[in-house]
Structure 1
């Protein structure tokens, strides 16, 4: 995988596929970055009991192999009889390295890999000012919803194939591979 040197902090890191042995470090990072309420989010309802989409779970590591950041994408259906799509999240970076470019590199890598694997759309719940720079907007989500509470203005989409979300409506539905009990513990 290519090595990235974040311009603002001189942090050197590599983005690699997530491995089962990354679980403990990824969970600790998510707890530090997102806090204890992270598992109560609406997006979690779509991830629970599922595995990330094949080939779309990534870790940013420093030269010593320490986990600095993480991002995953999950298979969903965009509403009632809607098109297949991906749900991105969580994206997290070690809080000590905020604004180092790791999150941006993870996002660019995840989008690039999703496109390479011929996925058509990515959805997420997040800050429009941050994700807008990657092409995400609320323009294609007005007729879609998340299962459970969420802030509508934070429900964003990026079409990787123009018009794929046109006419999509209803609540997102998880469609990804179900995890076996041992995999749930590793994937949590």
Structure 2
């Protein structure tokens, strides 16, 4: 099997392409009637789907993985554990699943990148959902201890009430682009023209 496209994507940290590359390779190999078990990068394939938040495809891939592979490759099970936690919306559990396994060198990059991406996504969720939140709850969503979560939030403009350990969320300023409607501009021009004449 030629995994050069997959290896190139991993080397260039193009993790958002991993799932598609693996799906395409799997279809090509399957169409040739080749049966693979141990040599297929199931953990990377699962992590690729998890990285792009395609949990349904990860679930279906998990169901297709042979039992012998699940029993002999703990990294495959560890990758799926992240998917399970995402499926259950167990925010703290996602981070636990990431931290509790010693990932292979091939998987370390995608797992680290996913963790960073997931933390940013959770922080954006907190910004949109809360005006104040405790440091403990923030820590739960960000997969950090309370002090690190407070520091993370403070670095992004939030404020902390030390006595209550409550963080005040700094809402992001959303720049809206106003679109120019040509028909409205035409009517305004005609109106001004009529006023002047």
- Same fold, TM exceeding 0.5? no
TM-score class, shorter-chain normalisation, is under 0.3
Q: What TM-score comes out, normalization by structure 2 length?
A: 0.25
Q: Flag the structure with higher helix content.
A: 2
Q: What TM-score comes out, normalization by structure 1 length?
A: 0.25
Structure ranking higher on relative contact order (CA contacts 8 Å, 6+ apart) = 1
